[in-house]
Amino acid sequence: MKLDFDLLFGKRLLTFINILFPGFKSTTTLLVFLLLIVAILDQVATYFIGILPSEFLVILGKRDKDNFKYLVFKATIFIVFKAFILSFVKYLSSLLSLKCREKFNYILHRFYFKRHGFYRLNAIGQSIDNPDQRMTQDIEKATRIFCTDLLCPIILSPLIIIYYSYLTFISAGWMAPLSIYIYFIIATFTNKMLISPIVSFTNEQEKREGDFRLKHVEVRCNTESIAFYQSGLLENVLTNQKLRKLIKTQKELVYRRFILNFITNTFNYFGGTLSYLIIGIPVFLTKSYDNLTIDELTALVSKNAFFYIYLIHAFTNLISLSDNLGALAGVTHRVIELFEELRRLHEDRLETERPPSTVPSSIVIIASKDKQKSQMFRKLNCTKKKDVVGESGLKNIEQLHGKQIKNIIDADSDSEEGEYLLDELHVSNLLDNGREGLSNDPFGSFYDSEVVLRFDHVTISSHFDTSTVLVHGLSLNLVKGKNLLITGDSSSGKTSILRVMAGLWEPSFGKVDRLWKIKPSTFFFTPQKTYFPSGDITLRQQIVYPFKALPNENDIPQFQYILQSLHLTNLQNRCGGFDNPINFDLNENLSPGELQRLAIARILYHKPKFAFLDESTSAVGVEMETIIYKLLLEFNINFVSVGHRQSLKKFHDRELKILPNGNWKITDLDSVSISSSGKSIIENNSILAI
């Protein structure tokens, strides 16, 4: 829906005001009355200071020394009073802004946290973007603009205009105020035409700001998963895309505001010239001042000029508020839209909810206009619950990556994206007409080697408490064609071993040799916490992650086969195909089992030589688990698994079991074992080939 400076804004502004000022006895309403009284005193001080120059001109013309001293003292008093009152006005308006923000947030929080409104808004509903931003930044901005920039000028301007219109009429006749009114009407109509598009762009800017901030929050909350995927550079690309959209919107807004400011400043500065044109009416047209001396005429012109200029200032001040009005309209649409949606969710919930008598009193808070009900709020003591198989030959680039990076240089102008994909996939060979093999790869000589990763007496300590040893003196070789299962109690250090394998952690003692470069075509890590980036990401991009997807119809059959094999066929329809931006968050709308299967789809697409799976089948049944491991074997993918199920053992050749106190035991699943405390019955005592 297109948002504008229109009737809808008027309705939402009234709702906004009713929320902030619910009654005459509310704190915010009383603050407004006090603010208006002080603001009126400020206008009184302004009037007396404004006529001081005319009084000085008269006294200086008469050379009256005594009255001159008195006038200097009088001017000093008024100036000090004006300075104090003006500061007090700013203090009260800032205090009012804080109280209004507090009140608005309390009301929104009541709807948001009641009857699972937060869940229904974020996980089920998709109509409101960035509700967290609306409840934090947007409410702060809306209340600040309304209370500190708009409230007093809008309320006092009619009174000022009426009073100074009367003074202008008395001094220069009916033509003077009429000309000012016509001037203001033209300026108002012009500014209305310029404000309307600003409202829409302001709303769009706030949305883009929220998307950009949310992307950084998403990265912060999924740092380890992103590191396991080796996808930092792709996240850089995705984050920069959010930034580009934000900057593009801001540039449009800056351009629109430039035009608005140009017109506004023109009207503001021309107002001074208009005041002298009005003074010329009694001087040149009506000849009303012909009987005055030069000193008297000078004093009178000075006094009347203040009246005209201040009347014009009152009008131009309203015109100058157009930029603030545009900003207020944009954020008011957003916060009231959120309020309306939360209220709708609450009312829909009430229609289907069980009778109030069956709902625990500790979680019921009734929002009602009924005074009797509104007095029933009470403090509650609540406890917070915590949420919370290797191929001998090398495939060519197109086989490994489904032509996703073909012609990457021509297809994308972003040098960082191109550099990322070129570096990761060694596409220098692609530029040589797609020759097979990676002869220039410094790690290529190791690809046919049996040993791919070696632990030599590795000790791993907790990064949170270095005195806690998780694994002590672990020695092993990771070999092609031999699949490893890592087991152990919870928090025993299983994931920590994967962190060291992935290069995320350094061992506290010992040596780790990675004979293959870590990248999706060799080592593909699937973290325990699955991660799927949000925000206009296509299903194709989710599958080819951590690489950037490029449209290619030849990949569709491969995608469809993978999804069909994992019983995810309906996901293509839910996402609107492979190349349409997904309009919902996969992390919130897919079940844990579906998320794990989609994570496995990434492995099957990339076909790495080794896949590392950290509890990657814990949310699926034994039947689906069997399907997944048969697919890995079918795709000739070696794997290292972390898990607890006994059913996993039949797919693995060796088991590394983490024991208490940093001990460990490696067992050939044909019952041959070696441990951290005993000698191996295998010939090599220091390193066990897995």
Instruction: Please give the single-letter amino acid code of residue 639.
Output: F
Residues 282-296: pLDDT tens digits?
A: 777 777 777 777 777
* CA gyration radius, the chain: 36
What count of other Cβ atoms lies within 10 Å of the Cβ of residue 402? Answer: 24
Question: Are residues 638 and 390 in contact, defined by beta-carbon separation less than 8 angstroms?
Answer: yes
CB contact set of 27 (below 8 Å; sequence gap of 6+): 99
- Write the burial class of residue 621 (CB in 10 Å: 0-12 exposed, 13-18 middle, 19+ buried): exposed
Q: Left (φ > 0), alpha (ψ -120 to 50) or beta: where does 165 sit?
A: alpha
Question: Are residues 260 and 198 in contact, defined by beta-carbon separation less than 8 angstroms?
Answer: yes
Q: Which domains does the chain have, with CATH numbers?
A: 7-351 (1.20.1560.10), 449-689 (3.40.50.300)
The first and second tokens of residue 413, run together, are 């102008």
Q: What is the pLDDT of residue 30?
A: 93
Question: Cα angle vertex 400, ends 397, 406, to 5°?
Answer: 45
Instruction: Please give the single-letter amino acid code of residue 537.
Output: I
Cα–Cα distance measured from residue 367 to residue 377, given in angstroms and rounded to the nearest whole number: 9
User: What pTM does this model have?
Assistant: 0.63
Residues 367-424: pLDDT tens digits?
A: 333 444 344 334 333 333 333 333 333 333 333 333 343 333 333 334 444 444 444 4
Cα–Cα distance measured from residue 119 to residue 200, given in angstroms and rounded to the nearest whole number: 28
- Write the burial class of residue 175 (CB in 10 Å: 0-12 exposed, 13-18 middle, 19+ buried): middle
Cα torsion 199, 205, 206, 207: sign: positive
Q: What is the pLDDT of residue 674?
A: 52
Q: Left (φ > 0), alpha (ψ -120 to 50) or beta: where does 594 sit?
A: alpha
DSSP assigned state of 359:
S
- Write the burial class of residue 602 (CB in 10 Å: 0-12 exposed, 13-18 middle, 19+ buried): buried
Q: What is the pLDDT of residue 124?
A: 61
- Under-70 pLDDT residues of the chain: 1-5, 123-126, 349-449, 670-690
**Burial track 55-88 (b if 16+ CB lie within 10 A, e otherwise):** bbbbbeeeeeeeeeeebeeebeebeebbeebbeb
Q: What is the pLDDT of residue 349?
A: 64
Annotate 64-96 with three-state secondary structure.
CHHHHHHHHHHHHHHHHHHHHHHHHHHHHHHHH
Cα–Cα distance measured from residue 490 to residue 494, given in angstroms and rounded to the nearest whole number: 8
The first and second tokens of residue 374, run together, are 């509104």
DSSP assigned state of 428:
T
